[in-house]
Structure 1
């Protein structure tokens, strides 16, 4: 689930996986086919969201209209 969630993040372009055995490798590769629903993604986003540090909280207040897809990961206006 964690790998599938990461694959769907706008700021993530690739993942490095590691496995100690064939079973783990098969599980890791299966993450590419796992599709998380909107509610599942929202719940995972909420529990993994760290607090904003400077300058990001400042950008949230002053430059939100210029955010790109990767910046929107930091958007906290719903909190």
Structure 2
């Protein structure tokens, strides 16, 4: 999972990044990302089929399903 807190061409070794990282907006974004990861974890723990598919994909044994892809980028409003 990747969460962007600056524009696409921004770097994480800049004053702009440091300012963004300390903002209330980024706190909200990171809490939303943490909640999404938590919900995904619960889904995987509750579903043997999903857990088996996740392990198969991790090992490279299976193609991605129709459920969608990870890596959603969250952008500033």
Structure 1 length normalisation: TM-score? 0.29
